[in-house]
Amino acid sequence: MIKINRMLHTGLIIADLSKSRAFYEGLLGLKPSDKRPSMDFEGVWYDIGPNQIHLMAVPDPYKEAIKPKHGGRDIHIALAVDDVESIKVELEKAGVPYTMSMSGRAALFCRDPDGNALEFSAVKFD
């Protein structure tokens, strides 16, 4: 049996680094990490607690895939937030469409500029 200790990062494929940085840094308020080594493609890493999001400007092998309207029915990354209502306000101001969780939880889904699905879920940690 393989023993997994924790999740480290999620890699997301993007096409336009400046457009993606405007979304992740401007709208979501993430700060770039200085831990990313030199690589043969553009990208940026964001630290979120002990985990990271890696944006990778590489050819998208899924470009022709038809994505479901609701991000909860797609490959997605879930991010813990204090309050979903404040996220709705920010997304609406930025003109970013979203859908609410179909489970009735305090969660919503949107997509980044490249169609990667993001879940924002109200979760309280002790």
Q: Helix/strand/coil (H, E, C) string of 40-71?
A: CCCEEEEEECCEEEEEEECCCCCCCCCCCCCH
CATH node for 67-126: 3.10.180.10
Domain ranges in the chain? 1-59, 67-126
Give the span between the Cα atoms of 101 and 38, in whole angstroms: 38
pLDDT at 91: 97
Res 36 pLDDT > 90:
yes
pLDDT at 124: 84
Res 125 pLDDT > 90:
no
pLDDT at 14: 98
CA-wise closest residue to 77 among 123, 116, 29, 24: 116
pLDDT at 95: 97
* CATH 3.40.50.2300 correct for 1-59: no
- pLDDT, one tens digit per residue, over 3-16 is 999 999 999 999 99
- pLDDT, one tens digit per residue, over 38-63 is 999 999 999 999 999 999 999 999 99
Do 1-59 and 67-126 come out as alike in CATH topology?
yes
pTM of the model: 0.93
